[in-house]
Amino acid sequence: MKDIPAWRKIPWPPLLYLIAIAVSILAGLFMPLPRLTGPFANILYAIGWLLVFAAAALWISSFRAMRRAQTTLNPFGEPSRLLTSGPFSITRNPIYLGNTWLLFGIGFISGNWWFLPLALIAAALTQKLVIEFEEKVLGLKFGRKYRDYSKKVRRWI
């Protein structure tokens, strides 16, 4: 873990999602996409709030599980335990999934459709820059236990 390149020490997940939010807002201001109206817009608005609350629930339950297990919240830190229960029994990356759901939710609530592709871009970059690294670390540290877990629980959902 000591040989981590400097670019890997950047807190990519929150940075990527914050950039996606900023770009979505700017794109919505300068290149707005057509807004939906009527009952379908109301349904998407409600779904947006559900996604925001689901994201918050994933974050809270994930942070609590990690704190209880006394393992690191740092994506590039060395984990002390392999978490496989709670939100980690549904997805191997509940915090990143929550981040993505938040952006989808904001997009549905605001009607700014730029949030949707930018959420997917942020998720793809998070996977490439962070998740793949985390998986290597977990595989090295926990071996077969991690491999068995990753066969049962999907990376996202």
Please give the Cα distance from 104 to 109 (Å, whole number).
9
Chain mean position to CA 33: 25
Helix ranges, 74-131 (H) = 94-110, 115-126
Query: Residue 4: its pLDDT value, please?
Result: 65
Per-residue pLDDT, 120: 98
pLDDT for the residue numbered 11: 74
What parts of the chain have a pLDDT lower than 70? Answer: 1-9
Rounded Cα distance, 30 and 101, in Å? 24
Q: What is the rounded distance in angstroms from the CA atom of residue 55 to the CA atom of residue 62?
A: 10
Answer positive or negative: Cα dihedral of 2, 97, 129, 22.
negative
Dihedral (CA of 24, 27, 29, 33) sign: negative
DSSP track, 10-59: S-HHHHHHHHHHHHHHHHHHHSPPPPP-SHHHHHHHHHHHHHHHHHHHHH
